[in-house]
A and B are shown apart, each in its own frame.
Chain A
Amino acid sequence: MTETTLFYAFGAVAVVASLLVIAQRNPVYSVLLLIGSFGALSGLYVLLDAPFVAVIQIIVYAGAIMVLFLFVVMLLNAPHEDTEYDEHVHPLLRPGPMRFGAVLAIAFGVELVWALTRHIESGPFAGGAVSSVASIGTLLFTDYAFAFEVTSILILVAMMGAVVLARRD
C-alpha cells in the first residue's frame, strides 16, 4: 500500500518537474528542476528493486551530467529567450500554433500509452529477488562484455571530441 502511494508521489514529482523544465525561461532553473526530476526517478528505481541503478542515476546523471550543464549555462551567461509577445518572433511560436502543438503532444502521449499497455495484464509485480550488485556485475562482464569494452572506447572518443570542439584556437 505504501508502495503505491510512494509511486504516485514520486511520479507526480517527476512529471511536474519535467513540465516545469520545458516551461521555464531561466535555464538555471530548468537544470535544477531536472535534477529534482532525476531524484524522483531515482526513488522510482528503488521502488522497482533496482538500488544500484538508483544510486548510479544520482552519481552519473544528477551529480555529473547536470553539473556539466550547469557549468555551461553559467559560463555562457546566455540571455533569456524571447517571450511570445516579441514582434520578430517566429510564426510558429505565436500562441495559436503553440496551443495546437500542445494538443498534438497530448495526442502523441495518448497514442504511446495505448501502444504500451495493450496486451499486458497489469497485476502487481511478481515477488522477485532484489538484484544484487554482484549479479549485475557478473552479467556485465560475461554476457555484455563486448558492449562494456565498446562503451569505454565511446567515452574516450566523446572526451576527445569535446576537448577538440571546445578549444579556442
Chain B
Amino acid sequence: MNKCLRLQFLSILSLVLLFSGINSAFAEELVIYSGRSDRFVKPVVKAFTEKTGIKAIVHSGSSTALLNKLKLEGARTSADIYISNDAGNLEKGNELNLFQAVNSQLAGNIPANYRAPNNHWVGLSARARVLVVNSKQTETDFVQSVFDLADPRLKGKLAITHSSNESYIAGVTVYMQKAGEEKTKTWLKGMKKNVDSSVFNKHSKIVKAVASGKKSIGLVNHYYIYRHLDKHPDAAIKVFLPDQGKEGMGVAWNVAGAAVSRYSKHKVLADKFMAFVISEEGQKLFAKVNREYPTRIGVDAASSIPAAGSYKVADVPMVELGRKRNATIDLIESIGMP
C-alpha cells in the first residue's frame, strides 16, 4: 500500500508541476483582469497584439470579483491591467490603492469627468441609462423623467433589473447626486410598488418583455436596445432619452474603463496597452464593438445611436459612482428593493 500510495502521490505531484509549469510560461506577457464581456475585450486585445507584438492573457470574471482578487493578492498579483465595466469598481479600486497613475499627458486625452482625478483609472467608453418604450401603446406617453417611473399609472407595466446590477446601482447614484436622497427614496419606493417584486435578471430580457408588450416601459443601458433591434429590426420598441427638459437633470452615464495595477511587473507593456486604448484607433475599437460612446473627444460613436452632445447628460463626475456606491446600496437595501 505504501508503495502504491507513494506512486500515486508522485504522479499527482508531476501533474501539478506540469500545470504550474504551464502557468509560469506566461512570464513575459501582459496580464489583463477583465470584468467586461470577452467578446468586447478580445477584439481590442487582438488588435493590440497585432500592432505591438505584445502577447496578452485575458483573465475574465466579474468586475467586483476581480477587484477583490486584486485586493487580496496585493503585491503578489500577476495582473498588469484591470478592466471594468463600471466606474464604481474602478473608483473603489482607486480608494483601495490598487492602481497607479497613467501618464497625465496621455490621460489628458480623456475629459476629466471620465477619469479619476489622480489619473489612477481612465474611462474608455460610456453608456447611457435610457428608457425603452413599447411603440404600440400610448399609456406611457406622460413619462418625461426617470422619476415618472414611480407614477402609480405604471403599476405592472414597468420593467427594471434586480437591484444588485452594477448599471442599476450606478444610475441610482447619479439620480441621488442630482435630485437628493429624499426624492430618490420616494422614487425607489414608487418603483417598488410598480414592479410588484417581479424584476428582471437581465437587461436584454427587459427589452424583450417591452418588445413583446408584456411590459410597456423599461430602464436599460442604451446598447441593449440596439442589440435587440439588430436581431429584430421590426421590433415595436423605441428609445426615449429621459430628463431632457430645461429643468431636467439629463441622462445618467456610466463608463467602462481600465487601470494599471499598482504592482504590475510589466509596467512598460501596461503603459503601451493604456496608450493603445486611449489612442483614436483603440478608442474606436473599444467603444464601437458595443456601440458605446468613446470618451476621447473627437472620436465618433456608432452612427445608429444618438450622437454624444445632441442631448443632455447629467454632469456627475464618474468618481462619484465609486465614492457614493455604498451609500446607494444602503438606500436600496433600506427600502428592500428586490
A and B pair up: no
Q: Which residues of B contact A (CB under 8 A)?
A: none
